[in-house]
Chains A and B, each alone.
With several copies, the nearest count.
Chain A
Amino acid sequence: MDIFVLLPELLKGFTHFTPGNAVMIGVGAALIYLAIAKEYEPVLLLPIGFGCILANIPLAGMTAAEGMMGVLYKAGISSELFPLLIFIGVGAMIDFSPLLAQPKLVLLGAAGQFGIFGTLILAVLLGFPLNQAASIGVIGAIDGPTSIFVATKLAPELLAPIAVAAYSYMSLIPIIQPPLMKLLTTKKERMIRMEYAPRPISQRTLVVFPIAITVVVGLLVPEATPLISMLMLGNLLKVSGVVDRLNKAAQNEIINIATLFLGLVVGATMTASAFLNWGTGKIMLLGLLAFALDTVAGLLFGKLMAFLSGGKINPLIGAAGISAFPMAGRLAARVAQDEDFENFILMHAMGANTAGQLGSVMAGGILLAIVSHLV
Chain B
Amino acid sequence: MLMTSLWITLAGMGIVFGTILALWGLMAALAGLLADKPGAADSPESAPGSRYGLEKHTPTGSARRSAYSTSEDKAKAAALAVAVALAEQETSTARPLPVPPTALVSAWQLGMRTRQMTQKGERVNRS
Judge A-B direct contact (beta carbons within 8 Å): yes
Pairwise interchain contact A238-B54, C-beta atoms closer than 8 A: yes
Q: Mark B29-45, 1 if CB is under 8 A from A, else 0.
A: 01100111000110001
Collect the chain B residues with CB atoms within 8 Å of residue A212's CB: 26, 30
Known: A95-B58, A202-B35. A213 touches B112 (CB 8 A): no
In the complex where A100-B31, A198-B69, A205-B31 touch, is A175 in contact with B105 (Cβ < 8 A)? no
Q: Is the CB of B65 within 8 A of A241?
A: no
CB–CB A133/B30 < 8 A: no
Please tell me if A163 contacts chain B, counting CB pairs below 8 Å: no
Task: Say yes or no: A1-B4 contact (C-beta < 8 A), given A6-B11, A252-B101, A362-B20.
Answer: yes
- What per-residue 1/0 map shows which CB atoms of B90-127 lie under 8 Å from chain A? 00000110000110111111101111110011001100
Query: When chains A and B are docked, how far (Å) is the Cα of A130 from the Cα of B74?
Result: 50
Q: Are A200 and B69 in contact (CB under 8 A)?
A: yes
With A174-B120, A239-B52, A327-B117 as given contacts, are A118 and B9 in contact (CB-CB < 8 Å)? yes
Per the bound structure, the CA–CA distance linking A255 and B101 in Å amounts to 12
Q: In the complex, how many residues of chain A place their beta carbon closer than 8 angstroms to a beta carbon of chain B? A: 97
- Report A205 CB to chain B, min CB distance, Å: 4
Q: Which of B7-60 contact A (CB under 8 A)?
A: 7-9, 11-13, 15-24, 26-28, 30-31, 34-36, 40-41, 45-48, 50-55, 58-60
Contact of A93 among B21, B26, B109 (CB under 8 A): B109
Q: Is the interface of B mostly helix, strand, loop or mixed?
A: helix
A200–B124 CB distance below 8 A:
no
Asked if A248 contacts B45 (CB within 8 A), the reply is: no
- B41/A202 in contact, CB under 8 A: yes
Size of interface on B: residues with Cβ below 8 Å to A: 80
> Is the Cβ of B104 less than 8 Å from the Cβ of A245?
yes
Chain A residues within an 8 Å CB radius of B55: 95
Contacts of B53 in A (CB 8 A): 244
**Given A110-B17, A174-B117, A201:B61 Cβ within 8 A:** no
Is A245 a contact partner of B13 (Cβ separation < 8 A)? no
From B6, B13, B20, B72, contact of A114 by CB (8 A): B13
Q: Is the CB of B30 within 8 A of A366?
A: no
Chain B residues positioned under 8 Å from A269 (CB to CB): none
Contact call A344/B1, Cβ cutoff below 8 A: no
Contact string against B for A residues 222-235, beta-carbon threshold 8 Å, 1 for contact and 0 otherwise = 00000000000000
Residue A367 at the chain B interface, CB threshold 8 Å: yes
Tell which of B11, B27, B28 has the most Cβ of chain A within 10 Å. Answer: B27
Q: Which residues of A contact B50 (CB under 8 A)?
A: 203
Contacting residue for A42 out of B46, B72, B112, CB 8 A = B112
Complex Cα distance A114/B20, Å? 14
Q: Which residue of A205, A217, A331 contacts B35 across the interface (Cβ within 8 Å)?
A: A205
Instruction: Give A217 to B16 CA distance when docked, in angstroms.
Output: 11
Nearest chain-B residue to A42 (Cβ)? B112
Contact A179/B124 with A200-B70, A203-B46 known, Cβ cut-off 8 Å: yes
Which residues from chain B contact A326 at a C-beta distance below 8 Å? 59-60, 109-110, 113
**In the complex the two chains form, is B116's CB within 8 Å of A241's CB?**
no
Q: Mark B72-84, 1 if CB is under 8 A from A, else 0.
A: 1010011001101
Q: Which 7 A-B pairs have the closest CB atoms?
A: A241-B51, A97-B62, A117-B9, A39-B112, A103-B27, A110-B20, A327-B113
User: Which B residues lie at the A interface, using CB under 8 A?
Assistant: 1-2, 4-9, 11-13, 15-24, 26-28, 30-31, 34-36, 40-41, 45-48, 50-55, 58-62, 65-66, 69-70, 72, 74, 77-78, 81-82, 84-85, 88, 95-96, 101-102, 104-110, 112-117, 120-121, 124-125
Tell me the A residues contacting B by CB distance below 8 Å. Answer: 1, 6, 10, 38-43, 89-90, 93, 95, 97-101, 103-104, 106-107, 109-110, 113-114, 116-118, 120-121, 124-125, 130, 133-134, 171, 173-175, 178-179, 196-206, 208-209, 212-213, 216-217, 220-221, 238-242, 244-245, 247-248, 251-252, 255, 325-327, 329-331, 333-334, 338, 342, 344, 346-347, 350, 355, 358-359, 362-363, 366-367, 370-371, 374
Q: List 15 A-B contacts (CB under 8 A).
A: A93-B59, A97-B48, A97-B65, A106-B24, A117-B9, A121-B5, A174-B124, A201-B65, A220-B19, A329-B60, A330-B88, A331-B117, A333-B81, A334-B117, A344-B78
